[in-house]
Amino acid sequence: MYKVFINDKPIIITSSSKKENNFPVYVFKNTVIDEVIHKLKNDDFKGINLYTTDLEDDWKLFLTHFDVVKAAGGLVINPNKEVLFIYRNNVWDLPKGHIEKNESTENAAIREVEEECGIEQLSIIQKLITTYHIYFLDGIKLKETHWFLMHSDDSKKLIPQLEEGITEVAFKNSNEIEMVFKNTYSNIKMVYENYLQRFNE
């Protein structure tokens, strides 16, 4: 299954016939992707399921409709198992950014977290998940973000990257994360939930 968000509304591309939501179901091969995007962008639907019998081939076909922008980021935990969040454009987010030419995904993730948060002593523990969302800037783009679980012992005051629109950087405990989730993106919730499922003892 692949889940791609437009304005926090999902396009779910799946080969499973089991329906797990109340979104309409369309057959992928009979669907015009531009029409799906239009319906979600204009609030006609809250989400949509695209059923396919060949998930990987149809996913590749789906990607051909977009300029794919690759990015990488981190869910950073400290020794207290708190999670590092940034506040950008009045929304809580996790640090991430574009992968530069000839840069590895892992190096890009560490570089972006360091730049956006002013943090050091980062180490990657494991790859978490890849998320996808569509946005509109000089055409229709699909951002593919590779997320890594990271750890840092850095205890100094963190400095947000103001030129990137980040106004706050903070580690949040589980109670504070509940408040964060009232003002964040669906993809960010997916990353955190993936972390909880795999690493929460």
In the chain, what are the domains? Answer: 2-63 (no CATH), 67-199 (3.90.79.10)
**Which residues, given as ranges, of the chain have pLDDT below 70?**
201
CA–CA distance from 70 to each of 9, 30, 151 (Å)?
A: 20, 28, 23
Q: Pseudo-torsion of CA 79, 99, 134, 10, nearest 10°?
A: -40
Check residue 52 and report its DSSP letter.
Answer: -
Structure tokens belonging to residue 190? 């997916």
pLDDT of 19: 80
86-124: string of b/e by CB count within 10 Å (b at 16+)?
Answer: bbbeeebbbbbbebeeeeebbebbbbbbbebbbbeebee
pLDDT of 159: 93
Residues above pLDDT 70, as percent of the chain: 100
pLDDT of 201: 55
pLDDT of 43: 76
pTM score > 0.85 for this model? yes
| Contact (CB, 8 A) for 184 and 191 | no
pLDDT of 137: 87
Q: Tell me the average pLDDT of the chain.
A: 94
